[in-house]
Structure 1
């Protein structure tokens, strides 16, 4: 049985045409990164095939790819590469006329191949952490980070507040790219969210594959900035395909069904943070430590001022542009706090379960989330809070938004 029988007619034409774009063009002369987390099995097999092709071993590459296609007949990119390798082995170059629609589909698959290969060739992340994660609260077992610019989803485990890379997956994002602003723009949002629920296969159309994990877009900061839209999910793919091309959703983050099952097993509904960012900066643990120390010192000073009923010092931590959860601006908030504190004789404020996430897409902003245990001579409450701290031009940290942790 020849493997060409698995190829759809469109891919048969495209694969032959693709000799003009040799596999070796994917495989630049660079060492393969060994410090990244494991890829999904199918992706690892495909990348190994491309590595063999780079070395000119087309026979082994075709044999291995045949096994992959037999196991994953719906992996369109693997079908495409198989056709190209068959032509490359013969040394022939065939350039048939194809329709614009065929060419667009072929180009999208090439983008997927380049995206996957670029990740393989990226510098090792071994011993490094993404600078968007400064500290993870003990209540979060895992954190998800989606690098929208590079079509990659990372799953991190929480090891005493420090992220450890567990695995990473190729992902599809919105057709409009990253940075959602308004409903219908087909963009995937940039920001910090959490999983709100799990929708299983039986509840969904086939488009969403084996399941979906909606996130809480728009969050408090999105709403404050006037961003609109809804229905941003992490979800799988139809069973007729293994993966979708890099920009093919209406704003959701889409991964292969196998990868979705792995992700879902490591998600805690209502808790697991999902950080969506345009690009990811990997730094040493020491670099994150210095940033974390500076910010925690500011948070502690804020807490101490409040507990000491030093209202003037306390209010100094709120930026002129501050907005409260109740919609009060800085002046209204200051008047309210002065009135409240005037009748306080004793205040105790304890903070626990503190997370610090550098907010993507915002200049010098960090989301600080914590459990707040407040007691005074006439009131007690325990709540989950979120504050958005911004570092001003003088290097001082100030709060620009305060809300329930959503």
Structure 2
């Protein structure tokens, strides 16, 4: 039955592409090459019928009908909304002390590995130095440290705790939250001072899934799951948001106010408040004749907490910025929340 469905499906795809404009074929080719930004702009020219067919194709490409059948009506992990090829995400459930490795397959987050881990002695979210709690939020492993004291086992991944939102909005203290090994065969549950600890053999296995400065680590007290339809709607909305933000920044020498409209009035950086940042941007943009931005390795993840200002999302990506008087290349983090019906950038940092 599956083979019959597959055959019929690809006959329909072939006939549809042959009969329609080449734009749908161009989108598919761009996706196969991993050219997400190109595909994003090309799909805007598709008819509604073509867009619907493209959604079906994305679900069923590479004959993965079983994935589509599995997804229909089922709940899927939703802390990870979008991942680039070759980059995985980690989700740590600190209550049951499980670490999940999530990979995107056919546009869907899938758990591909699971490890036992040990987290902080005290329950709840980390608030201050020495409270022996594991922080909740979204973090990035900055680098691997080897040749450490034996208590850390073969080494450690250093997380960027406290991140910008921790420092400037939540005012959380503490430092030195790592993912590391141990100097004993095992440890009692909930026995760390805040770090995430794995058995040495598991840490060695985990290393292959982590790319420093790229792999998101989402620490939660419960794994998020929701219907596939809701997941797709939220993911597509955020992908659309980030590329519209990019276009607005590129057009900011002509229209700075549209660019500013993507930011919350509570926006912060390490240096500026929102009003200070706007003054800075007006000053530097005055000398711009043109701006070109290239985004790659886009990842979108969702915080497990419902904070006082709402749900928090992290959009991270590699970025190349060029202009007539300044060039920059690095990794950018956008902390995004929803204000009413609109996405807004609450914080922005780079490394």
TM-score norm. by structure 1 comes to 0.62
Of the three residues 300, 303, 317, the one matched with 2:243 is 300
2:83–2:103 contact (8 Å) kept in structure 1:
no
2:82–2:104 contact (8 Å) kept in structure 1:
no
Q: How does 1:154-233 map to 2 (within 5 A)?
A: 154-159=100-105, 162-200=108-146, 203-205=148-150, 207-224=151-168, 225-233=170-178
Judged with a 3 Å threshold, the aligned counterparts in structure 2 of structure 1 residues 172 and 311 are, in CA distance, closer, same or farther, namely same
Secondary structure class of the residue paired with 2:212: coil
**Cα separation, 1, equivalents of 2:93 and 2:317:** 25
Q: Which residue is equivalent to 2:39? A: none
Pair 1:132 & 2:75 matched: no
Judged with a 3 Å threshold, the aligned counterparts in structure 2 of structure 1 residues 270 and 390 are, in CA distance, closer, same or farther, namely closer
1:149–1:178 contact (8 Å) kept in structure 2:
no
Structure with more strand by fraction: 2
Poorly superposed stretches of 4+, deviation over 6 Å: none
2:87–2:214 contact (8 Å) kept in structure 1:
no
State the 1:304 CA deviation: 1.9
Pair 1:258 & 2:201 matched: yes
Radius of gyration: which is bigger?
1
**Cα separation, 1, equivalents of 2:285 and 2:212:** 37
Judged with a 3 Å threshold, the aligned counterparts in structure 2 of structure 1 residues 374 and 150 are, in CA distance, closer, same or farther, namely same
Q: How does 1:258-337 map to 2 (within 5 A)?
A: 258-309=201-252, 310-325=255-270, 327-337=271-281
Q: Which residue is equivalent to 1:386? A: 333
Structure 2 unpaired stretches of 5+: 1-69
**Cα separation, 2, equivalents of 1:313 and 1:170:** 47
1:365–1:388 contact (8 Å) kept in structure 2:
yes
Judged with a 3 Å threshold, the aligned counterparts in structure 2 of structure 1 residues 160 and 369 are, in CA distance, closer, same or farther, namely farther
Structure 1 unpaired stretches of 5+: 1-125
Q: Which residue is equivalent to 2:349? A: 403
2:121–2:192 contact (8 Å) kept in structure 1:
yes
2:126–2:134 contact (8 Å) kept in structure 1:
yes
Judged with a 3 Å threshold, the aligned counterparts in structure 2 of structure 1 residues 350 and 214 are, in CA distance, closer, same or farther, namely closer
Give aligned pairs, total. 273
What's the RMSD between the two structures over aligned residues? 2.3
State the 1:167 CA deviation: 1.5
Deviations for 1:384-404, whole angstroms, at most 9, x for unmatched residues? 211111101x21111111111
Deviations for 1:154-212, whole angstroms, at most 9, x for unmatched residues? 11234466433122122221111241111100000112222233344x5322x334443
Secondary structure class of the residue paired with 1:155: strand
TM-score norm. by structure 2 comes to 0.71
**Cα separation, 1, equivalents of 2:180 and 2:110:** 23
